[in-house]
Structure 1
Amino acid sequence: MRSLILDTDIGSDVDDAMALAQLLGSPEVELAEVHTVYGDTRLRAQLARRYGVLAGRELDVVPGLAEPLSGREVWWAGHEGTLHNGLDAETISADSAPERLVARLRERPGELDVAAIGPLTNIAAALALEPQAAWWIRHLWVMGGSFGDDVREHNFKSDEVAAQAVLNAGIPTTITGLEVTRQVTIEKPRLERIRAAGPLGAALGADIEQWWAYWNETWNVPHDPVAVLALSCPELFSFSDLGKVQIAEGGLSTFAADAEGTVRIVTAVEAEAVAEEITRRIVAGGTEYAVQRGEIDGDRT
């Protein structure tokens, strides 16, 4: 079993919430903590905590840095948390994510994976506090960048300073970029399966529909769930050899094979199988607790 810290900007694009729900339905992953980054990280932490409650899980959630190291203005959709009443009642840590990350890695060197599915600000700040922490991360899983094109992906563009610092630190890293994640979509039939998965599924289904309405679409790309699934189901992905990544001003990312590098990128994905596995795990994350509480019939899950 992998022990994992999830670092997320949950609350804007619904894919972060989908990734969290997916991890809650992944039996080979122990979700040790959730850290939030970028913008109103307290609100994001309360939302992550709420999703844990809906799945019957007592998540330890730690808010992190609000402002990118690059100084770039934070993008805020405006709908973050609006479908979840009473978020202020959710208990979150008084610690700060960079300090907490260093502390957890020091306690368990080489034992913890980190999945970073937002800007890499918290990770970079943790490395600035304790450079040795780079050697304590078992593996870093990143959703970020776009390779082989001129697209500037949101996470790297939002804090290219942090992205370059982290990717230069020598951490064993797997990056899933936009050119891969955009091959996978979640459409209405899978949304209906998610919506039926107990209180967590109902809440996530509403958040998915809100995101669809924001873009006037009837589908979405599950960028972050795809990146996280590379940890759990590597057989559904193809990977490059090791190399190095460069992040130009504005977030443009390039990868070059290099035997001395510590970074690999996902190069191909079995799109339909990945979409199905994401959905299956989200449903599992929502139904187990609901069945225990008698809220849904286990024979129909």
Structure 2
Amino acid sequence: MMHTLIKITAFCALPFLLRGNVSAQTHKPVTVIFDTDIGNDIDDVLALSMLYTYQQAGRIDLKAITVSKAHPYAVAFTDLMNRYNKMGNIPIGYVGAKGATPDSGLYTGQTLGYREQGKKVFTANLQLADQVPEAYKLQRKVLGAAPDGSVVMIVVGFSTNIARLLASGKDEYSNLSGRELVAKKVKKLYMMAGMFGDNPFPEYNVVEDSSAARIVFEQWPGKVVTSGFEVGARIHFPAKALIRSFPQLWDHPMVNAYFHYIKMPYDRETWDLTSVLHAVEGDKHYFRESAAGVVKIAPDGKSTFSEQAGGKHHILFLDENKIAPIIHRFVQTVGGHY
């Protein structure tokens, strides 16, 4: 996700522990498919780091990462993040060249090619996008093998991949259509999409592929929980936490990408992180869910929500007294401490 709103906030001295200091969990992990437009905004990278923490803690089983940004560096960067976090076995799917935002972005290429004293810091396969499956096919593979009603999908970029999933037909992974497969296998869909606050405008994740977003909100057969722009815009990730707690700085791909995205210092809005937190830790009630209703996407890309009995959509609300605890939790989970 990419947005233009930037706000520098004061750093709160919160615990930020290095990855690896993760408590083991005893409960059964939730199966997750993560769909991201990584490469457009840095919050996708922070959100992915949260998922690594949950994976290490046994809270989730991250079965696939699917990329909706149509540039091959997005795939190569995701692979770098996986391998750096010792999770190179997590499969990646790619939207392909016909997806949205075919530019390279502001950090993927810079991080992949980063050099110190004339030597490249990271190894990367820049041709990987040509070698991975199309995103919706990988989603079908994971869903086809999953128990009924067991998969949580987290989509923090464009709706392109999941719209293609809905439109897909039977294949080697399932005899069900995409819509039937989703209805049978997906427990819940969590999205960062839309803007439901005062003075709404066409939000980036929606407007970049508004036809796909419209398809998803009209046709998705199960429950959808959406975090709008106005939620993550009020919560800022403290950049000093990265500086304080990752001594490798430029040699860490997450920090390297953060430094490249915008000139430091800056505290970034946490749009995508809100969906990940609510999807995995909704029982902690960091956010309030609306009553059931319907999200509609207008021709200009603006989104509206109205309560409606029997509706399948819910939007998130943020209370002021929850902002500090949420920032604390973001700092912990991005840093690797469950």
Following superposition of structure 1 onto structure 2, how do residues 169-208 of structure 1 map, counting pairs within 5 Å? 169-196=220-247, 202-208=252-258
Q: Is the 1:65–1:122 Cα contact (8 Å) retained in structure 2? A: no
2:186 equivalent to 1:137: yes
CA shift for structure 1 position 233 = 2.2
**Structure 2 counterpart of 1:81, from 102, 109, 126:** 109
Distance 2:66 2:299 in 1: 26
Within a 5 Å distance, the mapping from 1:242-261 to structure 2 comes to 242-261=292-311
CA displacement, residues 186-244 of structure 1 (integer Å, 9 cap, x when unaligned): 23332324534x6898321221122222xx76221121112111112221111101111
Cα offset, 1:74, TM superposition: 5.0
Q: Residue 297 of structure 1 corresponds to which residue in structure 2?
A: none
Q: Tell me: higher relative CO, structure 1 or 2? Use CA pairs within 8 A at least 6 residues apart.
A: 2
Give the structure with the larger helix fraction: 1
Give the Å deviation of 1:76: 5.3
Shift of residue 63 of structure 1?
1.2
Q: How far apart, CA to CA, are the structure 1 residues paired with 2:279 and 2:86?
A: 23
Aligned-partner Cα distance in 1 for 2:308–2:124? 46
- Corresponding position: 1:6 with 2:34: yes
RMSD (CA atoms): 2.4
2:137 corresponds in structure 1 to 99
Aligned partner (choices 212, 226, 236) of residue 162 of structure 1: 212
Deviation at 1:91, TM superposition (A): 5.6
Counterpart for residue 147 of structure 1 = 196
Counterpart-to-counterpart distance in 2, 1:200 and 1:259: 51
* SS, match of residue 125 in structure 2: helix
What is the one-letter code of the residue matched to 2:269?
V
Deviations 1:170-196 (A, max 9, x none): 221110011111110023332324534
Partner residue, 1:263:
313
8 A Cα contact 2:233 2:271, kept in partner: yes
Whether the 8 Å CA contact 2:249–2:255 is kept in 1: the answer is no
Q: What is the CA–CA distance in structure 2 between the aligned matches of 1:102 and 1:20, rounded to whole Å? A: 21
TM superposition shift of 1:61: 1.1
8 Å Cα contact 2:37/2:157 also seen in 1 = yes
TM-score normalised per structure 2: 0.76
TM superposition score normalised by structure 1: 0.85
Deviation at 1:255, TM superposition (A): 0.4
Which segment is superposed worse, 82-91 or 152-161? 82-91
Output the CA distance in 1 between the equivalents of 2:265 and 2:195.
22
Q: How far, CA to CA, are the matches of 1:201 and 1:140 in structure 2?
A: 34
Residues 1:224 and 2:272 aligned together: yes
* Cα pair 1:181 1:227 within 8 Å, conserved: no
Distance in 1 between residues matched to 2:75 and 2:101, nearest whole Å: 20
Q: Percent identity?
A: 20
Aligned residues: 279
- Give the deviation of 1:43 after TM superposition: 2.1
Q: 1:282 is matched with which residue?
A: 334
User: 5+ residue gaps in structure 2?
Assistant: 1-28, 114-122, 169-177
State the 1:57 CA deviation. Answer: 1.1
Label 1:67 to 1:171 Cα distance change in 2 as closer, same or farther (>3 A): farther
CA displacement at 1:13 relative to structure 2: 0.6
Instruction: Tell me the distance in 2 between the aligned counterparts of 1:76 and 1:218.
Output: 22
